[in-house]
């Protein structure tokens, strides 16, 4: 297939590598001219994915129209807060028969839309039924290195999800298909601030009991909001839910976990964000998911405390206290 990958960060580069290794003709659109030159000349993305040789079949470009010309499969892999702007630029050039895959995990700041919701507002109407959400436990570096990985592709039309499944699966990258788009997308967004919460607890030295409690109750909060918004509760027991939650909360490659660790060790958010180019989506997701809980009138105490910690300068110690001294309740039931 002719594939266009929009976004030259670590995840976009890893997916371009996967596509090239699957023998697809792959163009990688990147915003930074220096990254395009790096990939073209050194066959490496030293800024976002250093140390990993890239396939000679990846063609980097800064020209959006050229990247999308003739594309049968388009992968949108840009940070959630830039998705609308970049997709608006891309929209006139997306072929009307293309499948559009969003591999971005997040919720838009102002609209509180998932990425497929943003796509449906800016992309050609002809491809709305062919929009797919790709999510699951998948660190970019490990995917690029060929570490066995399993993810899920979701589309309201299962046949389209299956097309993506067969186009991108390989002997090291296994894709499952399903139709619960909203569940897959919500899981991908919510696991990020929960991972920050786990990082905070670990940074405070609170132990493994605390980590397990946050992961488990974070999953319950994820399912609670998802079911309210029409998701299938089984999605949250799968790769996009539990799988990605465990990876992001416990893996040392998780940027969200690393942000939480540093906060738990006493650093401020400004100090942390000032020292990195990589996006920790959970920082933004903490605000957008919290706003969504208010809109949907769903109780999500962990999300609320992480929001207050990040945006209202609440102390980690007080956040833990307030979580532990809430009114006692039954575990079962949303």
C-alpha closest to that of 30 among 17, 22, 39 = 39
> Could you tell me if 226 and 302 lie in one domain?
yes
Per-residue pLDDT averaged across 245-273, rounded?
A: 94
**Active-site annotation holds for 317:** no
pLDDT in tens, 110-157: 999 999 999 999 999 999 999 999 999 999 999 999 999 999 999 999
pLDDT in tens, 156-211: 999 999 999 999 999 999 999 999 999 999 999 999 999 999 999 999 999 999 99
> Could you tell me if 140 and 248 lie in one domain?
no
Give yes or no for a contact between 112 and 295, defined as CB atoms under 8 angstroms apart: yes
Residue 334 located in a structural domain: no
C-alpha closest to that of 187 among 238, 113, 260, 253 = 238
The DSSP symbol for 327 reads P
pLDDT for 274: 78
Residue 64 located in a structural domain: yes
Domain edge (last residue) among 144, 179, 214:
179
Give yes or no for a contact between 75 and 168, defined as CB atoms under 8 angstroms apart: no
> Could you tell me if 124 and 258 lie in one domain?
no
User: 157-166, 207-216, 266-275, 314-323: lowest mean pLDDT where?
Assistant: 266-275
Residues found in the chain: 334
Residue 68 located in a structural domain: yes
Domain that holds residue 67: 2-179
Residue 331 located in a structural domain: no
Rounded Cα–Cα distance for residues 79 and 116 (Å): 13
Q: What is the mean pLDDT of the chain?
A: 96
pLDDT for 281: 86
> Could you tell me if 308 and 201 lie in one domain?
yes
Q: Is the pLDDT of residue 275 over 90?
A: no
DSSP code per residue over 173-191? EEEEEES-HHHHHHHHHHH
Rounded Cα–Cα distance for residues 12 and 144 (Å): 10
Rounded Cα–Cα distance for residues 19 and 27 (Å): 10
The sign one gets for the Cα dihedral 139, 256, 81, 228 is positive
> Could you tell me if 150 and 238 lie in one domain?
no
Token pair 């039954």 in the structure block, residue: 330
DSSP code per residue over 203-228? HTT--HHHHHHHHHHHHHHHHHHHHH
Residue 275 located in a structural domain: yes
> Could you tell me if 158 and 295 lie in one domain?
no
> Could you tell me if 207 and 97 lie in one domain?
no
pTM over 0.75: yes
Domain edge (last residue) among 127, 157, 179:
179
What pLDDT band is residue 66 in, cutting at 50, 70 and 90?
very high
What's the gap between Cα 275 and its chain centre? 21
Q: Read off the CATH number of the domain in which 94 is found.
A: 3.40.50.720
Rounded Cα–Cα distance for residues 152 and 168 (Å): 11
Give yes or no for a contact between 203 and 263, defined as CB atoms under 8 angstroms apart: yes
Per-residue pLDDT averaged across 57-84, rounded?
A: 97
Q: Read off the CATH number of the domain in which 313 is found.
A: 1.10.1040.10
Rounded Cα–Cα distance for residues 3 and 49 (Å): 20
> Could you tell me if 153 and 208 lie in one domain?
no
Question: In this structure, are strands 131-135 and 99-102 parallel, antiparallel, or unpaired?
Answer: parallel
Residue 332 located in a structural domain: no
> Could you tell me if 194 and 171 lie in one domain?
no
Residue 185 located in a structural domain: no
> Could you tell me if 141 and 200 lie in one domain?
no
C-alpha closest to that of 73 among 21, 119, 132 = 132
> Could you tell me if 142 and 87 lie in one domain?
yes
Q: Is the pLDDT of residue 334 over 60?
A: no
Q: Is the pLDDT of residue 46 over 90?
A: yes
Residue 145 located in a structural domain: yes
Domain count, the chain: 2
> Could you tell me if 8 and 62 lie in one domain?
yes
Residue of 2, 191, 267, 317 marked catalytic: 191
Phi, psi of 24 (to 5 degrees): -85, 150
DSSP code per residue over 138-166? --HHHHHTT--EEEEEE-SSHHHHHHHHH
Rounded Cα–Cα distance for residues 65 and 134 (Å): 24
Token pair 């840009």 in the structure block, residue: 78
Rounded Cα–Cα distance for residues 241 and 194 (Å): 12
The 10 Å Cβ neighbour count of residue 220 is 15
Domain edge (last residue) among 179, 210, 232:
179
Distances (CA, A) of 69 to 58, 92, 130, 244, 277: 15, 11, 18, 33, 30
The DSSP symbol for 49 reads B
């Amino acid at each position: 297939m002719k594939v266009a990958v929009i976004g030259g960060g670590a995840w976009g580069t890893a997916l371009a590598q996967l596509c090239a290794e699957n023998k697809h003709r792959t163009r990688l659109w990147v915003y930074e001219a220096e990254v395009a030159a790096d990939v073209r000349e050194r066959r490496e993305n030293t800024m976002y994915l250093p140390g990993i040789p890239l396939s000679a079949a990846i063609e980097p470009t800064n020209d959006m129209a050229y990247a999308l010309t003739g594309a049968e499969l388009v992968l949108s892999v840009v940070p959630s807060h830039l998705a609308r702007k970049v997709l608006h630029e891309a929209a006139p050039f997306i072929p009307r028969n293309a499948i559009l895959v969003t591999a971005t995990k997040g919720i838009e700041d102002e609209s509180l839309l998932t990425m497929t919701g943003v796509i449906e507002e800016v992309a050609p109407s002809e491809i709305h039924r062919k929009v797919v959400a790709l999510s699951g436990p998948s660190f970019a570096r490990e995917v690029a290195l060929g570490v066995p990985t399993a993810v899920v592709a979701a589309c309201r039309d299962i046949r389209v999800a299956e097309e993506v499944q067969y186009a991108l699966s390989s002997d090291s990258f296994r894709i499952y298909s399903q139709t619960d788009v909203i569940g897959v997308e919500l899981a991908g967004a919510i696991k990020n601030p929960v991972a920050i919460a786990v990082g905070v607890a670990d940074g405070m030295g609170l132990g493994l009991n605390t980590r397990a409690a946050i992961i488990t109750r974070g999953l319950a909060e994820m399912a609670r909001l998802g079911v309210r918004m029409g998701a299938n509760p089984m999605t949250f027991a799968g790769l996009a839910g539990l799988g990605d939650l465990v990876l992001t909360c416990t893996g040392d490659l998780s940027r969200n976990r690393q942000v939480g660790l540093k906060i738990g060790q006493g650093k401020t958010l400004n100090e942390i964000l000032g020292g990195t180019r990589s996006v920790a989506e959970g920082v933004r997701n903490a605000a957008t998911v919290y706003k969504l809980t208010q809109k949907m009138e769903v109780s999500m105490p962990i999300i609320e405390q992480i929001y207050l910690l990040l945006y209202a300068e609440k102390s980690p110690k007080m956040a833990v206290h307030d979580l532990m001294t809430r009114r006692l309740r039954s575990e079962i039931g949303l």
